[in-house]
Structure 1
Amino acid sequence: MLHITNGDMAAELLGQCGLDGQVLPWREMWIDGPARIQWDSMKAIEERAVYFEQALGIPRETFERICSDQLGRLTAAADAEEPIVLWFENDLFDQTMLASLLNWFHRRKTAGAPVGRLEWIVLSAQPGQDFRGLGELSPERLKTLWPLRKAVGDDDAAFGAEAWQCFASIEPQLLEKWLVKRVPSETARILVRAMCFHLRRFPSIRNGLGAVERETLSLLCQGPARPDELFRRIGEAYPIYGLGDLSYWSYLKRMESAGMLVIQGDQPLPSFKSVGPPDFDMWLVIMAAYGTRVLAGQADLLRDGRYAERWLGGVRIDGGATKAWRCAGGDREGGGASMIFM
């Protein structure tokens, strides 16, 4: 049996539960970088390796090795028809990983390759706890979730596979159409909520800001703030995102390059290669005049040609682009999203 979960901390805790089988921490972050339908191809892996080396400072060789190792373990388990249990959370970070894996299993099964029994445990809030992740639960609490696992039905796998195909497409309207399809199970419905938020990461029709950029500027309206304070507040505003610190520092850097804010400090923000816990007193983030104008709808990030290059699933928005796919929808979880190219 192989247990697949969303990171090293959760994997370590699962290993302490006394459950049969091995634990594989799945190391990916599809909320950043280019997404391809056949994400397991060497071409797709190399493309992402180049992106993460440039964007987050993750060495290309390290990224490629991690992808190769985990894909090898996954393939070996499937070839042996081992039971595979997917342990994931309800946020976009985890749900994109889950969708990519369901797509992999679905493609494999369609091609006639062996696949063992698939089960899943998808978590959201836990009773009496401010739940932020599987890694925050005790091994004892994790073990009590084991009887709650459910089989991944063929409809679930096909639904998740289609979600991935839409997420990795160059046309976000496909995902918009997928969102209104019949949902095969309550567990699959969690994927729908996460993918709905993905569309709200796109530039809005009002000012070119996505949900996180808009919330960041709104927070800076209250005064300058340390990067870690902003990161914490963004996590509280959008728990559905599952945004990591390195990804958020990339947001801040893009916003600074667009002239919306200023990051005061003698050193660059932390990166993958940073050693030891950072002293966030070193930095202060301040709203710039242009950011105030954009937030008020008096300027438009895209029309002004200030949008920094960005990948949103399979969609690439070029730096300096004046037209792109935009979202005409709600800012918060539960709001609808309509995609328009303008």
Structure 2
Amino acid sequence: MPRCLHVLNGDVVADRLAATNLGGTRAVWADPLCEGPLVPLTQPGFREARAGYLARAGFAALTETEARLAAWDAALEAAAAHDEVVLWFEHDLFDQLLLVRHLAWWAALPPDLPQLSLICIGEFPGIDPFHGLGQLAPDDLLGLFPNRVPVSPEVVAQGARTWQALLASHPLDLEHVRHHPLPGLRYLSAALRRYLEEYPALRTGLSRTEAMILEELAHGPLHPAALFRAVQRREEAVFMGDRSFRHRLEGLARGPEPLLDLDLSPAAAGPALEGAPVRRRPAAERVLAGRDDWVTLAGIDRWFGGVHLEGRRVRPGAGIRSTGVSPMSRGRRALNPRRRGATFPVTLLLPQGSTWASSSSAGSCCSSLSSSCSRGPAPAAGRTPGCSAPSRCSSPRFPSSSSWGRWSLWWSRARSA
């Protein structure tokens, strides 16, 4: 049996793998890269930038967060002492960004390295819906090991290119990479598409997650945990944790004209999503209908990797628009995005007069951010949200990425008034 370093996406999977007779060293690396600023791995401030962001997001004190990130990195740095490094991941956005980060890290290492192998699944017999490795029993995980595949130099290079696109100060490189996937990274394109769907939409200024939150509240208030489950059901691949979801709720409940009534007390901000039911306010209907724009009403200050969006005034048509048109909708007018086969535009709005902050300045420019994801340094129990409770929304999910046709993409720069 080779001496293996098993690189895992969370403590739950690590504990279940430890319950098997599979030897080797288990290393968890679970920074929620799908949120917040990213800087080059070789830049000295990478860990400090991420630790500062996660500490401000409320995961733990800065010193504790720095220690946890340092321990994760130290476990990876021991790779050369093993015969094989095995990456264990799944199909969702959270894991796919971890995967490309690790491939970029591997690409920068000296050539005399052990074998790199990959286990990456998007389904498992008898588990429907499948959300991730955390749903598997120890014996199920053990059964995946013989089917691991060697990672080719081409896949490593594609992962490194994707990482560089995530660091760019605009999303165009990422859109280009999304359209050139490799068979060894079969889930990457859909994950990157979902990443782009978190940019504010041109018509409403809402991200896809924010829009789904407001739509789920159309028929009345919901407890935060029930709302979380309802929104997760509409995901093709669940990636968001409870802390990150709580941050989305808080963002919609703040500002001069909030869209939600939400308990903002410190006691309600825990990972269990406790608190009074969440209610939609009248302004939410206007924003969903496109009569008001959420970025205009509340402003934006958010990092997407190397992209920093900030500002309030938005000029119509400025930014990036990626529109998918399903074959089912050809020849018809725009469809309701809650109906399968519908068109759901993915749009980046560039606030008027704002600038694109480069990723090299992320460490010093993101101090005002506060975002979170329960899959970060303080892992949520089970890591995969349950989806068995009844939902108040009976409408179909968003269409899967395979049902979308080609995107059109264009870029225009907003200029100061």
Scaled by the length of structure 2, what TM-score is found? Answer: 0.74
Q: Is 1:13 aligned to 2:16, yes or no? A: yes
Shift of 1:50: 1.6
Are the counterparts in 2 of residues 203 and 209 from structure 1 also a CA contact under 8 Å? Answer: yes
In structure 2, the partner of 1:74 is 76
In structure 2, the partner of 1:121 is 119
In structure 1, the partner of 2:108 is 107
Aligned mates of 1:337, 1:36 — CA distance in 2? 28
In structure 2, the partner of 1:218 is 215
Match of 1:316 among 296, 308, 312: 308
Are the counterparts in 2 of residues 37 and 169 from structure 1 also a CA contact under 8 Å? Answer: no
Q: Is 1:49 aligned to 2:41, yes or no? A: no
1:105 to 1:173, Cα distance in 2 relative to 1, 3 A:
same
Q: Any idea what SS the aligned residue of 1:284 has? A: coil
Aligned mates of 1:84, 1:283 — CA distance in 2? 46
AA partner of residue 137 (structure 1):
L
- What RMSD, in angstroms, separates the aligned Cα atoms of the two structures? 2.1
1:1-342 equivalences under 5 Å are 1-38=4-41, 41-78=43-80, 80=81, 82-108=83-109, 112=110, 114-130=112-128, 131-181=130-180, 183-185=181-183, 187-258=184-255, 259-264=258-263, 267-271=266-270, 280=274, 282-302=275-295, 304-318=296-310, 320=312, 322=314, 325-330=319-324, 331=344, 332=398, 333-334=400-401, 335=404, 336=407, 338=409, 340=411, 342=414
Aligned mates of 2:305, 2:29 — CA distance in 1? 18
Are the counterparts in 1 of residues 250 and 264 from structure 2 also a CA contact under 8 Å? Answer: no
Q: Any idea what SS the aligned residue of 1:212 has? A: helix
Are the counterparts in 2 of residues 203 and 327 from structure 1 also a CA contact under 8 Å? Answer: no
Shift of 1:205: 1.2
Shift of 1:321: 5.9
Shift of 1:322: 3.6
Shift of 1:54: 1.7
Shift of 1:337: 7.0
| Same amino acid, percent of matched pairs | 30
Are the counterparts in 2 of residues 81 and 114 from structure 1 also a CA contact under 8 Å? Answer: no
Q: Any idea what SS the aligned residue of 2:34 has? A: coil
AA partner of residue 33 (structure 2):
W
Aligned mates of 2:6, 2:408 — CA distance in 1? 34
Per-residue CA deviation, residues 44-92 of structure 1 (Å, 9 max, x unaligned), is 21112222222234211122111111111211223x3531000001000
Aligned mates of 1:339, 1:256 — CA distance in 2? 32
Shift of 1:153: 0.4
Shift of 1:22: 1.0
Are the counterparts in 2 of residues 200 and 329 from structure 1 also a CA contact under 8 Å? Answer: no
1:271 to 1:254, Cα distance in 2 relative to 1, 3 A:
same
With CA pairs under 8 Å and 6+ residues apart, which has the higher RCO, 1 or 2? Answer: 2
AA partner of residue 126 (structure 1):
F
AA partner of residue 118 (structure 1):
L
Are the counterparts in 1 of residues 167 and 306 from structure 2 also a CA contact under 8 Å? Answer: yes
Shift of 1:314: 1.8
AA partner of residue 50 (structure 1):
G
Structure 2, unaligned runs of 5 or more:
325-343, 345-397
Q: Any idea what SS the aligned residue of 2:262 has? A: strand
Aligned mates of 1:72, 1:14 — CA distance in 2? 20
1:266 to 1:48, Cα distance in 2 relative to 1, 3 A:
closer
Are the counterparts in 2 of residues 88 and 122 from structure 1 also a CA contact under 8 Å? Answer: yes
Structure 1, unaligned runs of 5 or more:
none
Structure 1 range deviating more: 199-208 or 41-50:
41-50
Aligned mates of 1:339, 1:225 — CA distance in 2? 38
Per-residue CA deviation, residues 287-306 of structure 1 (Å, 9 max, x unaligned), is 1122111111111122x251
Aligned mates of 1:172, 1:20 — CA distance in 2? 41
Aligned mates of 1:85, 1:321 — CA distance in 2? 47
Aligned residues: 328
Are the counterparts in 2 of residues 167 and 313 from structure 1 also a CA contact under 8 Å? Answer: yes
